[in-house]
Amino acid sequence: MKNFTITVDADGIALVSFDVPGRTMNTFTDSAVADLDLLVERIRADGAIKGAVLASGKANAFCAGADLGELGETAGGQAKGATLAAALPVTSRMSRALRALETVGKPVAAALEGLALGGGFEFALAAHRRVAARGVKVGLPEVTIGLLPGAGGTQRTTRLAGPRKALDFMLGGKPMDAETAQSIGLVDEVVEPGEAVEVAKAWIRNGGEGVQPWDVKGYRMEHGPYTPAGSGVFMLAAAQVQAKGMHNYPAQENIARCVYEGYGLPMDAALRVEARLFLATQQTPQARAMIRSLFVSKQANAKGAGRPEGVPPSKVTKAAVLGAGMMGAGIAFAQARAGIETVLIDTSQEAADKGRAYSEAIVEKAVSRGTMTREEADALIARILATTDYEAIAGADLVVEAVFEDRGLKADVTVRAEAVLASEAVFASNTSTLPITGLAQASKRPANFIGIHFFSPVDRMELVEIIVGKETSTETLAKAVDYCKQLKKVPIVVNDSRGFYTSRVFDSYLREGFEMLMEGIAPAIIDNVGRMTGMPRGPLELTDDVAIDLVDKVARQARVDMGLGEPSGGSDKMLIDLVAADRLGRKNAKGFYDYPKGEPKRLWSGLAEMFPVKVAKSDPELLEKLKRRFLYRQAVETARCLDEGVLTSARDADVGAILGWGFATWTGGPASLIDMVGVARFVEECDALAEELGDRFAPPALLRRMAEQGDSFYPAPKPLEAAA
């Protein structure tokens, strides 16, 4: 075996150490799955082995799951019929191996001293007992990348935790701590860190039985779909799927089917149900797109895929943040968390201290939850110097400007900071819309000037958009990527333009909602359809969250820069009218919605006066058309960014869209959506929309060229292999 080693102690207990060579974390590669058969055979055939404990040879985790790089290569092929049947024995190898493990005839315990996710937790579920160290996280997050647990996870969790809790666990996809897992029956015992292996061995020594409850004669599952206690759970499963994914995710529906169809069947038959549905799910275009964007591409970006070659690596030891508002405070926290000495500057000491208090609140909560020690918290806060003194910037490797979106203010702080900065230091603007080349005019060193656009809240949002100005050097770009990697962020690299990529395309989503409103479509329909596409919020409620006056301010600045006068109509005029009516959004409790204190929000009645409703009821045909408008408007704007060179890769487009503004995850991102539809068909449908609704849907030359040549943004999947 290449991935497992076995040592047998004097009591005949085999310690099975899972340690995939060349990897920092265990994953079930094809090689590791093949080793499972050898592992089971060794445990079964070796008379000296009385029982086995499964443990990790890595210090950081038990197992992070399947190797998605390998799995994703054949995903989305949409194979059918005989091809699927021939491939089923290959794709269900791990499921069969784990079934052999739990029926090996000897007690097997899993000792979890680190993260156990996906296939790693399914490995543990096949053991007869699970012992987890306090603080360990376990989970089946497959749904978050378009898959379902395919190695027995849907069946074992249902039998251990019951259908309701199993569905919550798998449809949500969020890991849970060991104590919570124990409370629902997925973990048997929680111990202090470092004790799991010995406690697992003790269970075997004390007569632990090597048989699962469902393999005991007479076993029956309780609360089935046809019992008074269980019928409600299964009746509500469809509603649960609808609420979580609006039926955009085949994985969610198939998880519910696995639980329903496998319930009450003997385990071997239930596993066949799961295997069939896993393969069907893996062959959907949604699975392929989600695996690619949320795992393969995201991981590549996190490792610095956009970094120019040939530039030595750099590390920031001291950095300054100009502006201690919400964004600046968040950036300061991210830097201090990464061990960077941070200077947080504002115009008054009170404002600077308030910015540092943001970090203090975060670490206090972490200490109270036990996820950070008092010493770690104190050390983090000690790395943040809150001040009004620009002289404190001296010695900084990098400065991030995070002041208001005002050119004059940004120019002023640029000059003041550069007066004390070393010649090789990087100056970055956190602007979300203003072109970097224009802002760099205030700098004496435009080659060192770059855009680093964080997303709020900075402590939770992974994405950073790095914007390269006309004079930005490759060395500065490399340093910016290295800095983002230090912060454990996921950077995409874009070229300079108004709104860059993320703000520009995000705005197109809001604007399409505005267009619908002005057409007379009921605002409730607009926001409901927005969510139906897979967007996290409808465009009107999202505008309220962002602030109507902020969207208006960005639009005003764009008109000034482009030499345009006041609008006489359209969505820009709508924004002006709303601001004039003091409808600013959630921040003043008056926007497209009213926000009565202590009550749910409700649509502002005055909208009907501004935009009389002409379409008050929807039908399936209208809903599909509106969904297409929302998704295609964003996708065609993304294609324009690629056509204009703002974006240089489909990978950055997709990762940036999903992580930046929550573009419908099931699509894998706007470039993946175009591939999913088919470029030629997408162009044809956009032309029809453009003829009806205007040039905002007109496909750029890039897409027309791709359609003519039969190209796509990504290569086709590899064909499935049949069992030898």
Active site residues: 453
Q: What is the 3-state secondary structure (H, E, C) of 451-489?
A: EEEECCCCCCCCEEEEEECCCCCHHHHHHHHHHHHHCCC
- 189, containing H or E segment: strand 189-191
3-state secondary structure of 444: coil
Region class of 477: left (phi > 0), else alpha (psi between -120 and 50), else beta: alpha
Closest residue by Cα to residue 3 from 44, 41, 48, 58: 58
Angle at 126 between CA 120 and CA 129, to 5 degrees: 100
Written as one string, the DSSP assignment of 561-623 is: HTT----SSHHHHHHHHHHHTT--BGGGTBSSEE--TTS--EE-TTHHHHS--SB----HHHH
- Contact in structure between 649 and 678 (CB atoms under 8 Å): no
- Contact in structure between 622 and 629 (CB atoms under 8 Å): no
Strand-pair category, 189-191 with 129-133: parallel
Task: Give, to the nearest 10 degrees, the angle between helix 679-693 and helix 701-709.
Answer: 140
| Amino acid identity, position 321 | V
- 685, containing H or E segment: helix 679-693
- 665 DSSP 8-state letter: G
- Contact in structure between 7 and 46 (CB atoms under 8 Å): no
Preceding omega of 457 cis (within 30 degrees of 0) = yes
Angle at 151 between CA 145 and CA 155, to 5 degrees: 100
Rg (CA), the chain: 28
3-state secondary structure of 493: strand
Cα gap 106→637, rounded to integer Å = 60
Closest residue by Cα to residue 398 from 379, 412, 413, 418: 418
- 283, containing H or E segment: none
- φ, ψ dihedrals at 62, nearest 5°: -75, -60
Lookup result for tokens 């964007």: 293
- φ, ψ dihedrals at 160, nearest 5°: -85, -40
3-state secondary structure of 114: coil
Q: Which residues pair with 138 in a beta bridge?
A: 116, 176
- 212 DSSP 8-state letter: -
- 352, containing H or E segment: helix 349-369
Tokens of 651: 């990978």
Strand-pair category, 463-468 with 449-454: antiparallel
Question: What are the Cα distances from residue 674, in Å, to 287, 455, 641, 652, 654?
Answer: 15, 26, 14, 15, 11
CB atoms within 10 A of CB 370: 10
3-state secondary structure of 33: helix
Half-sphere exposure (Cβ direction) of 418: Cα atoms closer than 13 Å: 21
Closest residue by Cα to residue 246 from 529, 435, 469: 529
